[in-house]
Amino acid sequence: DIQMTQSPSSLSASVGDRVTITCRASQGISNFLAWFQQKPGKAPKSLIYAASSLQSGVPSKFSGSGSGTDFTLTIYNLQPEDIAIYYCQHYKSYPLTFGQGTRLEIK
Amino acid sequence: QVQLVESGGGVVQPGRSLRLSCEASGFTFSSYVMHWVRQAPGKGWEWVAVISYDGNKKYYADSVKGRFTISRDNAKNTLSLQMDSLRAEDTAVYYCARDLTAHGDYHDLTYWGQGTRVTVSP
């Protein structure tokens, strides 16, 4: 199975900051990577697919990059509504697996 | 718009069975691969199973293989998960999910339902 490792596991930043979350795959996955945002008690919301493609309706403050084994999610101009847990997920092969999540908080 | 509505969750004793359903609307259900994904309390995400758009191909996580069965009824726009021999570690919120593109091999889990809670407890 392909293991997905996110860092950091938690992150505290100020309103207006730029935040970067990293996801590393245990083997190459090309660009078969998605990013999700999950708020308490809610289903995940897809932000990014194919490593860098923004889902329809997702604001451009979210940006994804990377290929192979190393990927990043960048959030620009952090706002209180961005407080959530962020997950990466690969879809190179079965089983699909997820990172352990990055909890984002406001300072 | 795409809507996925799960149902069938509840409290069940270890060793018993439960059947989850996911009613789909707002898209051509028969054209899309569908998934079940779960999240145990306070834990991360675990992909459970996938079924091809025509129901002919199915894949499972090792943790549920031989106990869970994914199926679909394209005439009724419904996805199902039959869960047998349930264990305490199956306790989770179960979600159905759909990929972005039809007939695709890209399992990006773009659309999710609201989830249904399953608790396995004596």
Q: Which residues of B touch A98 (CB under 8 A)?
A: 44-47
Among the listed residues B89, B92, B90, B88, the one whose alpha carbon sits nearest the alpha carbon of residue B115: B92
Contact B108 A43 (CB under 8 A): no
Residues near A80 by Cβ (< 8 Å), separated by ≥ 6?
Answer: A15, A106
Q: Tell me the mean pLDDT in the region B33-41.
A: 96
Quote the pLDDT of residue B43: 87
Residue A44: strand, helix, or coil: coil
Q: For residue range B45-88, what is the model confidence (pLDDT) as tens digits?
A: 999 999 999 999 999 999 999 999 999 999 999 999 999 999 99
Q: Is the pLDDT of residue A18 over 80?
A: yes
Task: Indicate whether B104 pLDDT > 80.
Answer: no
**Half-sphere exposure of residue A66: CA atoms within 13 angstroms, side-chain side:** 26
Nearest to A95 by CA among B89, B113, B111, B45: B45
Strand partners, B31: none
Look-up: residue for tokens 């758009």? B53
pLDDT at B42 over 90: no
Burial class (CB in 10 A: 0-12, 13-18, 19+), B13: exposed
- A58 vs B: CB within 8 A: no
pLDDT at A62 over 90: yes
**CB-based contacts of A45: which residues, under 8 Å, 6+ apart?**
A36, A37, A38, A39, B112
Is the pLDDT score of B36 beyond 90?
A: yes
Q: Each residue of B6-16: pLDDT tens digit?
A: 999 999 999 99
CB contact under 8 A, B50 and A46: no
Residue A92 has pLDDT above 80, yes or no: yes
- Give the pLDDT mean for A81-88: 97
The reported pLDDT for the residue numbered A37 is 98
The pLDDT assigned to A77 comes to 97
Across the interface, whether the CB atoms of A100 and B44 are under 8 A apart is answered yes
Chain B contact present for A91, CB below 8 A: yes
Could you say which residues from 10 to 39 on chain B have a Cβ atom under 8 Å away from some Cβ of chain A? 35, 37
